[in-house]
């Protein structure tokens, strides 16, 4: 069985490729079959959360592409 992969798209969504299970706050599960994928909103502006609806392109979303090191650690 393949592993779930999560790809961070530049200035766009997280692309999740199954096998994986997405669980909403009410506990409802959506199964992502092996080899199938969904795009999860990273910009916060989608009207179809948790899924990306392409709004990130229209609003010019610019993401931090790498984690920022904590100072003093
Ligand atoms: S990342 Fe695409 S709408 Fe938010």
How many helices (H) and strands (E) the chain has is answered by 1, 5
Which distant-in-sequence residues (6+ apart) come within 8 Å of 14 by Cβ?
A: 6, 7, 8, 39, 40, 42
Query: What domains does the chain contain, in order, with CATH numbers?
Result: 5-59 (3.40.5)
Ligand 1 atom closest to Cα of 55?
3
pLDDT (tens, 9 = 90+) of the chain, 73 residues, equals: 689 999 999 999 999 999 999 999 999 999 999 999 999 999 999 999 999 999 999 999 999 877 777 787 5
Q: Is the CB of 15 under 6 A from ligand 1?
A: no
Tell me the pTM: 0.86
Q: What is the H or E stretch that residue 55 is in?
A: helix 55-59
Mutate to test the pocket of ligand 1, among 11, 55, 63 (most ligand atoms within 8 A of CB): 55
């Amino acid at each position: 069985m393949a592993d779930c992969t999560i790809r961070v798209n530049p200035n766009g969504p997280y692309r999740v490729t199954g096998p994986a299970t997405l669980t909403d706050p009410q506990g409802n599960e959506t199964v992502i079959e092996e080899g199938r994928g969904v795009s999860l909103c990273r910009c916060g502006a989608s009207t179809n959360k948790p899924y990306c609806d392409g709004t990130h392109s229209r609003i010019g979303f610019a993401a931090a592409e790498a984690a920022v090191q904590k100072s003093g650690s």
